[in-house]
Amino acid sequence: DVPLADDEVDLAEVEQRWKGAVLWLDARPRDQFEKGHIPGAHLLNEQEFDELVLVNIDLLQGLTKPVVIYCSGQACKASHAVRDRLVNTGIIHENVFVLRGGFPAWEAAGGPVEKP
């Protein structure tokens, strides 16, 4: 097993550290988000970043809970790209993590899936 990077969390840690009380951001393309996502997740992907940040800005600023970003799996780099943009633009400074294994890990763990 590869150890978690500093900016990564797995589902067990999300549950243990925060009892699941996090803001989920889905970094996948819109069509994948619309097929199903973690309940309560907000879409924020690279393709529509500027537009979606504006839509979600009130939610993102002044956050007190951690943010966990996911995409379509371990090989997917979209979560890291979105995390870097949020941090580098100063929208969020800390407590921004990437979910190891992405949405497939959530599904494999039997997590509920919300469909629009």
Whole-angstrom distance, CA of residue 75 vs CA of residue 101: 8
Topology of the domain covering 8-108: Oxidized Rhodanese; domain 1 (3.40.250)
pTM of the shown model: 0.94
Q: Which two tokens stand for residue 19?
A: 């009892």
Of 48, 33, 28, whose CA–CA distance to 98 is shortest? 28
Over its length of 116 residues, how does the chain's per-residue pLDDT go in tens digits? 677 878 999 999 999 999 989 999 999 999 999 999 999 999 999 999 999 999 999 999 888 899 999 999 988 999 999 999 999 999 988 899 999 999 999 999 999 999 97
Specify whether the CB–CB gap between 86 and 96 falls below 8 A.
yes
- Residue 6's CB is within 10 A of a number of other CB atoms, namely 6
Q: Where are the domains of the chain?
A: 8-108
